[in-house]
């Protein structure tokens, strides 16, 4: 609980700096079909980034919702915040806070927070590769109302490749390991391609894999989610 409290306090700092002009992107996707089938689904994602050297503040959120014949068939929400202090151009220290709700995977609520270190392995005109590691305090509640709290080790990797002036391919990995229960490990992978239509609007396709080695009873280990839509830059 102390780790979460300290992290929330650290992440409250950027709220006084929003007047510096943050960069923002908004991802939107929507499908509605009626007639022989009645299907509605949407996906929403947003990212805000403040760069106030030597600080970098990032806030993200994602939502996925689908309904078939009047019945909800998919639903998940994620949000995160991160404050990073760049000690050198390639090395930094950060604090993060994350939230997840995924009832179709048995997760009613999941919180994580803690400090970490980040390093940029490759920093080239078209390619970047960054890795980070953090120690987080996790608090979870399942849809069966089972609660647990534990300390976890988090490892992340992000690769970006730029095609020409604006098209971008990215690959992100996140590994979270429960330090108290060895079999409790999660792996998240997102592969994405963004192709610009104009300076502010682009097409975006992403493929997300979520693997939980110790899922809630009655649920599968792996979820795969393909989303398409447009990205708007502000």
Under the banding of pLDDT at 50, 70 and 90, the label for residue 2 is very low
pLDDT at 150 over 50: yes
Q: What is the model's pLDDT at position 7?
A: 41
Q: What is the model's pLDDT at position 15?
A: 40
Cα end-to-end span (Å), the chain: 36
Where is average pLDDT lowest: 97-106, 130-139, 156-165? 156-165
Please check whether residue 222 is in contact with residue 208, taking contact to mean a CB–CB distance below 8 angstroms: no
Domain boundaries, the chain: 2-233
Task: State which fold the 2-233 domain adopts.
Answer: Porin (2.40.160)
Report the alpha-carbon distance of residue 15 to residue 56 in Å, rounded: 13
- How many other CB atoms are found less than 10 A from the CB of residue 46? 18
Under the banding of pLDDT at 50, 70 and 90, the label for residue 10 is very low
């Amino acid at each position: 609980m102390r780790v979460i409290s300290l992290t929330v306090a650290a992440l409250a700092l950027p709220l006084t700096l929003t007047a510096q002009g943050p960069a923002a992107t908004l991802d939107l996707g929507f499908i509605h079909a009626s007639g022989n089938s009645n299907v509605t689904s949407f996906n929403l994602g947003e990212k805000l980034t403040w760069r106030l050297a030597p600080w970098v503040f990032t806030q993200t959120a994602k939502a996925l919702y689908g309904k078939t014949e009047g019945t909800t068939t998919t639903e998940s929400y994620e949000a995160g915040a991160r404050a990073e202090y760049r000690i050198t151009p390639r090395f930094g220290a950060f604090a993060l806070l994350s939230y997840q709700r995924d009832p179709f995977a048995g997760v009613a609520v999941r919180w994580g927070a803690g400090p970490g270190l980040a390093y940029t392995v490759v920093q080239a005109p078209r390619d970047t590769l960054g890795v980070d590691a953090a120690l987080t305090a996790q608090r979870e509640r399942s849809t069966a109302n089972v609660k647990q709290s534990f300390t976890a080790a988090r490892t992340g990797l992000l690769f970006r490749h730029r095609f020409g002036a604006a098209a971008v391919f990215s690959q992100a990995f996140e590994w979270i390991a429960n330090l108290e229960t060895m079999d409790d490990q999660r792996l998240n992978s997102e592969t994405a391609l963004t192709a610009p239509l104009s300076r502010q609007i682009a097409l975006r396709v992403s493929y997300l894999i979520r693997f939980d080695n110790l899922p809630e009873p009655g649920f599968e280990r792996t979820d795969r989610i393909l989303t398409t839509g447009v990205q708007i830059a502000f």
